[in-house]
Amino acid sequence: MPAEDFSLRTIAVPAYGPTLLYGLATGAILPVVAITARGLGATVALAALLITLTGVGSLLTNVPATVVTTRFGEKWALVAASAWCALAMVLAAAVPVLWVFAVAVFMVGMAGSVFGLARQSYLTEAVPLYFRARALSTLGGVNRIGVFIGPFAAAGAIHFLGTQGAYWVGAAAAVGAGILSFQVPDLALRSSGSSGSGGSSGSGGPGGPAGRGPEDAPAPTVLGILRSHARVFRTIGIGVLLIAAVRATRQAVIPLWAQHIGLDPTATALIYGLSGAIDMLIFYPAGKAMDTWGRRSVAVPCMLIMGAGLGLLPLASGPTGLLLAALLIGFGNGIGSGIVMTLGADFSPSPGRPQFLGIWRLLADLGTMGGPGLLAAVTALVSLSAGIGATAVLGLLGAAVLWRWVPGRKARAAASVGQGPPPAG
């Protein structure tokens, strides 16, 4: 169909159904990973270390994930990642041995890397450019909804089966995500007009990898993409790293500051939940703004607002002040829903899209691990308020980087697809 007649409803179930279930699977186990590790004999420090294994698994698998997605296509990468995640959940539930549990947590991170790359690559190819930001912000929002629902879905199983119940719920949701992934259309069967990506479409199955050019053309390599797009990675890529760092840190600072000012766990959970709720509610308007006014219209305010909220957080001395700061942080993060994926899609070349997005996700994962690391280091050396302040500075720095390098209008964003970043407008 012509791009102008595109409707997201036509691909809603295959595009978002697996993401919702996969988010539910990972959300179901988030509250119990540390508890499970402690129950298997881990010390408090080791239990905290095990939590980071999902991030480590994702970080180390980002580049290999490009090989999987390029070789087998988005559909089969989604199916394989879901199956791998389900296997990890079964291992965690059925084999009560600490080292096996650690391997299972690492496997969840590996699966998440492949799943995330494949779903982003698929939507980038399948959705017209004028609708891209809305599609990807909705993808981010649907994932957040799944993660939000996960702990509630697991609660009943935990009541009857203990903490292992959360992993069985996760396994079932991951299997469901894999089953729905079979409905992902084969991109090779879509006309170039309906892909809307501005590049060659790829296949969703073996024998016709996504993002491939003519059969006689050499396949893009990760190193080749890194060299040809070095300017993008060292400019906008740094902005993406800073976005990820601030986002990852914001999840830790709210409960830490709540404990610092003496709030009880119930009040802390309520404030954290309200911040997450406003985060989830505004993902589609954020995508609409990006498609209408350009990527910079969302990227810069996202970082400025999160930076302001983090800067105000150490001034909160009671629940009301903490709630207001948390809501501001949640709003800032919410309006940036999908911004990292959208910028990656805009600048990714075709062929070579999976390789580019693998490097893009690597930068984001480095930020996800580095942000909390900075918070911990500054807090240990100075104080918690100083650590939060350092994160706020990262937000302001990220806003400056994104203002400088992200295109200011939709026309600039469209012109930049598969090229280096244009000058700021």
pLDDT category at 350 given cuts 50, 70, 90 is confident
pLDDT > 90? residue 129: no
The CATH label, of 3.90.1330.10, 2.60.40.10, 1.20.1250.20, 3.40.1410.10, for the domain at 221-425 is 1.20.1250.20
Count CA atoms within 13 Å of residue 344 on its CB side.
Answer: 32
**Token representation of residue 212:** 């491939």
| Span 132-183, pLDDT tens digits | 888 898 898 899 899 888 888 888 888 888 889 999 999 999 999 999 998 8
Give the pLDDT of residue 328. 95
In whole angstroms, give the CA distance from residue 188 to residue 186: 5
Task: Please report, rounded to a whole number, the percentage of residues in the chain having pLDDT higher than 90.
Answer: 44
Domains 1-219 and 221-425 share a fold: yes
Fold of 1-219: Growth Hormone; Chain: A; (1.20.1250)
Give the pLDDT of residue 159. 85
Query: What per-residue string of b and e applies to 221-234 under the rule 16 or more CB within 10 Å gives b?
Result: ebeebeebbeebbe
Give the pLDDT of residue 193. 38
Give the pLDDT of residue 200. 35
Give the pLDDT of residue 4. 56
Chain centroid offset of residue 173 CA:
18
| Span 251-300, pLDDT tens digits | 788 888 988 898 887 788 788 888 888 888 888 888 888 988 889 999 99
| Span 233-247, pLDDT tens digits | 999 999 999 999 999
Mean pLDDT, range 52-74, rounded to an integer = 89
**What average pLDDT does the structure give for the chain?**
84
* Full-model pTM: 0.80
Q: Domain spans of the chain?
A: 1-219, 221-425
Give the pLDDT of residue 217. 60
